[in-house]
Structure 1
């Protein structure tokens, strides 16, 4: 069986990477004088989201995921709407981690009970 926590978290990060891509395009249009810096920063953030999906086999991947949530909320200083969008994704990330853990525990409990019978 696939790991539900990893699947939920990876799905959240991939969706977030797409949002970061579009927010980067908006930010680069709004900040023509700093367009290169904005594009590089957005690209790095996008790549970190995608890299993090591969690191979700370890605790470090989840720690990086939490750090990314903070960084993405902070992009609201460049594009104010990202405060709200980043907060929504931070909540989604929290739900993915919480519910993924809960599903794993419940599956383990069912497997344990089945093995006992």
Structure 2
């Protein structure tokens, strides 16, 4: 799950950076406002990659997705991109947990398998 979620968050890092460039064209916003908000969100997305296994990290990720969608009020294309990344976040969580469960099952099966030479094989004498 961590790999898929981290990949989604790194993608969001770049999208937020590019959205910041677009938001700079808005005459109502200063560069300081734009890059303060974008910088915090970009930093949060990178830091969240490292703490995905900790309690509450997934909920912070959901809050980040909501923030991306709401950023569409500043950069309208972010409504679409925010929704797309929210779908990717859900898929990363859903399918990532499935992959983790399959890996755990395979590890349990491998731990139960005999470690020595298999019965019925020829050995050098």
TM-score by length of 1: 0.88
CA distance in 2, matches of 1:33, 1:88: 27
Which residue of structure 2 lines up, in the alignment, with residue 84 of structure 1? 80
1:95 aligns with 2:91: yes
In the other structure, the counterpart of 1:62 is 58
TM superposition shift of 1:41: 1.1
The count of aligned residue pairs is 112
Following the alignment from structure 1 to structure 2, what is the Cα–Cα distance between the partners of residues 101 and 22?
30
Q: Counting helix residues as a fraction of each chain, which structure ranks higher?
A: 1
Between stretches 75-84 and 54-63, larger displacement belongs to 54-63
After TM superposition, give the deviation of residue 43 of structure 1 in Å: 1.4
The Cα of 1:70 is off from its aligned counterpart by 0.5
CA distance in 1 between partners of 2:55 and 2:101 (Å): 17
- Is 2:28 the partner of 1:33? yes
Asked whether 1:47 is paired with 2:43, we answer: yes
Residue in structure 1 matching 2:12, options 16, 21, 40: 16
Provide the alpha-carbon RMSD of the alignment.
1.2
Structure 2, unaligned stretches of length 5 or more? 114-125
Q: How far did 1:114 drift?
A: 2.8
For structure 1, the residue ranges without an aligned partner over 5 or more in a row are: none
